[in-house]
Chains A and B, each alone.
Chain A
Amino acid sequence: MPADAVLDDLTKVTDDRVREARPDDAIDGMPSRYVATPASTEETAELLRVAARHGLHVVARGSGTKQRWGNPPAQVDLVVETTAMTGVVEHAAGDLITVVRAGTPVRELQDALSGADQQLALDTAIPSATVGGTVATDTSGPRRLLYGTMRDLLIGITFVRADGVVAKAGGKVVKNVAGYDFGKLLTGSFGTLGVITEVALRLHPVPATQRVVSVEEEDPAAATRAALRVLGSQVVPAAVEVDQPTDGPVTVAVLLEGIEAGVGARTAATRTLLGAGNTVGEPPGWFGTYPFSADDVGLKITSTLMGVGPVLAGARSVGRRHGVPVSVRGSAGGVLYASMPSDTEPQLVALVLEAMRTVAATYDGTVVVLTAPAETRRGLDVWGPVAGLDLMRRLKDQLDPDHRLSPGRFVGGI
C-alpha cells in the first residue's frame, strides 16, 4: 500500500482517532477519504491546520442525525466527528448557565442538568442529536414560543476556523454586549463557517408542573382561530402546537408550564379559550416530533401568525390538487413542518413546494426543504430565495476563502 502523506499528517495530530473513511461515512452520498475524531478544541484546530495545508474539504459531524439536511456537500475529504468532545465543562446552577462540549448529546446534557432542577429550554425532535449539531442546524421545538430558539439561549461559543485558528465569542454570562455576536452567525450555519467545539448556554428552571390542553377542530381555519385565541391571551403558553394530518380533524395542543397554583388557573382559562370538546392531560404522542421520518420529504414552513391558517389550508388544498398526502405539524407561532411520503414523484414535490412558497411568501415566510430522498432533492432549490445573500457570500469568503468547509450545503451554494 502506498504511503499516504495526508493520513500520516492527520495521525500525528490525533493518534488512533483518525482512519480511512468507509462507505457508510459518506456525507449525504458524498464519500469521504478520512474520518478523524479529535478529543479537544486544540486537536480540532491542529486537524484543520493539516486539512488547510493539504486543501482538504471538511465536514463536521455530531451524531449524524441531520447529515441529509440541506444540499449534499460538493466535496468531502475529511469528516471531523465531534463525538469524542463530550461532557459538561461547567454547570453553574446559581448563575443558570452551563458550558458544554459540542459532541455531548442533548439528552445527556439534560440529564446532567436535571439534578439541579434545571434544563436547556429547547426541544430536540431527534433524541440522539448533539449540542453542536443542534447549534449548527438551529433546530427548535414547541417551547420556542416561550423560551426562543438556540440563538436566544447560546451565550458563548468556541469554534475552529477553516485555517485552524481557534476563535471565541460571547462568554459565560447571560448579559454581554462586548464584540460581535458570532454565536448568532454560527447557529444555523450548517458547518460552513467553522467547526463548533464548545458552547455556553443559558438555562432555565425545570417547571414544577406541565399540562396540555388539546382540542380537535374540524378544519384548518377553526384550528387556527382556536390557536390564535390562546396566543392573544394572557395565559402565557409555553407552546401552542397544531397537528394536521392529511385528512380529518386538526388538533391544537397548548402546553402550560409553571407552579401548580398558576397552571391550574391557566388551564381553566385555556379551556375557556379553546371551547367545546377540549381535553386536559399529558402531551400527545406527536407533540414535539416532526411529521416526517428520515426518508420522507420534510419541509420547514415559516410565516407570520396570521399566515398559519393559510399555510395549513394551503397544504391541504395543494395536496389534494396534486394527489399528494401532505401532513403539517408545528408551532402556531409561525414555524410549521410538512411531510410528504418518500415515494412522492419528484415533480409533484416540486409543485407542492412551489405552491407552499407562494403561500408562505404572502405572509412574510419561507419554505426550506429540510430533507428529501437524494434524487428528489437534486431537482429542488432546497433553500429557496434568501435575502441578504450577497453579504452572506462575503462573510463566507472572509472566514473560509477556499470554501473547504461543508462546501455547497448551504444557501446560495455556500
Chain B
Amino acid sequence: MDTVRLAARLREEIGQANVLTDRQELRTYECDGLAVYKVMPALVALPETTEQVAAVVRACVDAGVPYVARGSGTGLSGGALPHADGVLIVTSKLRQILDVDPDNQRAVLEPGVVNLDITRAASPHGYYYAPDPSSQQICSIGGNVAENSGGAHCLKYGFTTNHVTGLEVVSPDGAVVRLGGKAPDPPGYDLRGAFVGSEGTLGIATEVTVRLVRAPESVRTLLAAFGSTDDAGAAVSSIIGAGVIPAAIEMMDALAIEAAEAAVQCGYPAGAGAVLVVELDGPAAEVEEQFVQVERHCELAGAFEIRIAADDVERALIWRGRKSAFAAVGRISPDYIVQDGVIPRTSLPGVLRRMGELSAERGLRVANVFHAGDGNLHPLVLFDDTVAGQTEKAEDLSAAILDLCIEHGGSITGEHGVGMDKAKHMPRMYSDDDLDTMQLLRCAFDPEHLSNPGKVFPTPRLCGEVPGRHKGAHPLQQQGLAEVF
C-alpha cells in the first residue's frame, strides 16, 4: 500500500490535522480495551462529519485498503484492533448530541457521544438512556451499536438493539444510507437490527437515534450477603420464579468481593461467599411490594445480611463495588483475563461447580462477577505472566470456560462481542452452514472485505459467486487470506 499517497488524499479530504501518521501518535491507537492484542495502524483518520467519514471510506475503497472504526476504544474483544496496512477511523471528533426530543422519546447522536452523556442530556426532561455498560462513563454510542452492548439493567430493559430505532451508516462502498429513524417499524428488511452488533463489519454508524425511557418513579436497591454462590443462586431462582423481573440482579463471588474491597473499599459484608445486588424500579407501589418479596426470597435462601440503600449515595456505594470489579481484580493479581460467556440461568450451580474444578486442576484462581438474572458470566481468570507457562494455562482455562457455556446451551459472548479474540471460537457455537449464511449478509454489505476484516468470522467467505461454483481464484484466495468452502 502507498501510505504516503493515501495520507495525502485523506488530508485533502478531511484536513491536515485530522490525519495522523506519526508513529508516536499512532501508538495511542494500537489496541482497544483488550490490550493483549496490539497492531499499529498505517494511518489514523479523525473525521468531523458524516461526509468526511464517507470520503475516508471511499479513499480506502479506491486504494483497496482495509479500515477499522473505533469509538472510545473500550471494547473487550479486540473489535477495534487496527489493521497494520489499514486506516483506523476514529469517531472522537463526532461528539455532538444532535437532538434531545423528549416529546417523541428519542435522542439523535453522533457516534462518538459518550453513553452516559445521553442520560445526562435527557434527565432534565425526566428521561434516560437505558443500556448501561460498566464503561458507560467513557464508551461511545457508536461502539455500543457495533457491539450491541448490554449492561446491568438489560435484564429488564434489553440491549442496545432494543433501544436503537434509527441509524445513518456509511456502507462499505462509501454510500450514506438511512436505516430507520424516530418512528417504529420501517418497511423492508430490518437492516438496522442486523447492523447493531455487527462489530464494524457492515460499515460505520455516523448517526444514531435512540429511545429515551421515562425515569422510573421509584428505584430501590439492596445488597444481600450469602454464605455461598449456591445460596445466592437459589435466591435469584426464587425471585425470577415468583414472576419478579428486577431492573438488575448482579452476583459477585468471594474472590471478586475481595478484589473490589481492596480497590474501592466498598464495605461489603465480611465473610460473604457471594453477594447479590438487586435493584427494582418502576411505579412506587409496585416496587415497594416486590421489594419486600425480594428481601424475603433472599432471607429464605440464607442471606445473612441485607443492606438496603436509603438514598442515591448509598445506592452508588453498593454499585461501586460491582462496577469496579474488573479493574479491581488487578489489585489481587498481576494479570487477568476477563471472560464473557452466557449460560441458561438455571444451569448456574452446575457451571460454577465445574468452573471450580477446572480452576483447581490448573492451579489458577477464577473470580466471578455476573449478571445473574440472565446468565451472563464474567469469570476473571487470574495469573502471573512472569511465571513460566501461566499465561498459556490461563488462556486454556478461559477457553475451557467457554466450552462449558456452549455445553450448557449458552453463548461464547453475551455483551463483549466476538471481535478478534473469539473469532476462533465461532465454529464451536455455529455450524459451517450457519457461519456461511451469516457471511452472505457480509457479502451484501462488504463484498471486498474492507470493513474491519478478520473480526467475528474465523475464515472470510468469498463473495459474488454462488457457493461451490467458483471460477478462477479470488484475489483474497491468491493472497492466501481466504479459503474456499
Contact = CB atoms under 8 A, between A and B. Distances in A.
Contacts of B416: 177
A175 B105 contact: no
Interface string B394-421: 0000000000000001111111111000
Interface in B90-138: 102-106, 126
Interface stretch (B39-47, B186-194, B259-267): B186-194
B184 A391 contact: no
A279 interface: no
B241 interface: yes
B214 A305 contact: no
Contacts of B188: 383, 386-389, 392, 410-412
Interface string B430-455: 11011111101111110000000000
Contacts of B466: 401
A388 B186 CA distance: 10
A92 B286 contact: no
Nearest to A234: B217
B178 interface: yes
Contacts of B215: 234
A185 B193 contact: yes
Given A179-B438, A264-B285, A265-B284, A364 B183 contact: yes
Interface in A362-414: 363-366, 368, 383-384, 386-392, 394-395, 397-399, 401, 410-412
A179 B431 CA distance: 12
B365 interface: no
B433 A165 contact: yes
A91 B186 CA distance: 32
A148 interface: yes
B214 A234 contact: yes
Nearest to B464: A398
B402 to A, nearest CB: 10
B194 A173 contact: no
Interface string A145-167: 00011011000000001010111
Contacts of B444: 391, 394-395, 397-398
A144 B193 CA distance: 17
B175 to A, nearest CB: 8
A179 B422 CA distance: 11
Interface string A182-201: 10110111000100000000
Nearest to B147: A177
A187 B456 CA distance: 23
Interface string A264-297: 1110010000000000000000000000000000
A95 interface: yes
B187 A179 contact: no
Nearest to B440: A398
A73 to B, nearest CB: 17
B288 to A, nearest CB: 8
A258 interface: yes
B184 A335 contact: yes
B243 interface: yes
Contacts of A115: none
B297 interface: no
A300 B243 contact: no
A147 to B, nearest CB: 10
A231 B307 CA distance: 34
A259 B289 contact: yes
Given A92-B346, A174-B374, A261-B285, A304 B240 contact: no
Interface residues on B, range: 35 or more
A9 interface: no
A172 interface: yes
B161 A165 contact: no
Nearest to B406: A171
Given A94-B240, A265-B283, A185 B430 contact: no
Contact of A94 (B237, B413, B417): B237
Contact of A175 (B102, B371, B445): B371
A176 interface: yes
A192 to B, nearest CB: 8
Contacts of A96: 240
Contacts of A303: 183
Nearest to B375: A173
A351 to B, nearest CB: 21
Contact of A182 (B102, B410, B438): B438
A149 B431 CA distance: 28
Given A95-B375, A262-B285, A302-B185, A175 B154 contact: yes
Contact of A259 (B290, B342, B422, B430): B290
Contacts of B191: 185, 388, 391-392, 395
Contacts of A221: none
A234 B282 CA distance: 8
B339 interface: no
Contacts of A411: 187-189
Contact of A181 (B102, B193, B445): B193
Nearest to A187: B190
Interface in A214-250: 231-236
A116 B331 CA distance: 45
Contacts of A307: 183
B104 A305 contact: yes
Contact of A151 (B190, B198, B244, B283): B190
B72 interface: no
A387 B418 contact: no
Contacts of A365: 183
A185 to B, nearest CB: 5
A266 B245 contact: no
Contact of A149 (B150, B185, B198): B185
Contact of B431 (A151, A168, A188): A168
Name which of A174, A232, A305 has the most chain B CB atoms within 10 A of its CB. Answer: A174
Interface in B358-380: 371, 374-376
B371 to A, nearest CB: 7
Given A176-B411, A233-B214, A262 B283 contact: yes
Interface in B126-159: 126, 147-148, 150, 154, 158-159
Contacts of A165: 433, 436-437
Given A179-B456, A262-B285, A333-B184, A171 B193 contact: no
Interface of A: 92-97, 117, 138, 140, 144, 148-149, 151-152, 161, 163, 165-169, 171-182, 184-185, 187-189, 193, 204-208, 231-236, 258-259, 261-266, 269, 300, 302-307, 333-335, 360, 363-366, 368, 383-384, 386-392, 394-395, 397-399, 401, 410-412
13 contacts: A94-B344, A175-B159, A177-B418, A185-B194, A236-B214, A261-B288, A262-B285, A305-B103, A388-B177, A392-B188, A395-B441, A411-B188, A412-B188
Given A187-B190, A236-B283, 20 more contacts: A172-B344, A172-B409, A173-B409, A176-B342, A176-B411, A177-B159, A177-B413, A178-B422, A193-B189, A234-B283, A235-B283, A261-B288, A265-B286, A304-B183, A364-B183, A388-B177, A392-B188, A392-B189, A395-B441, A411-B187
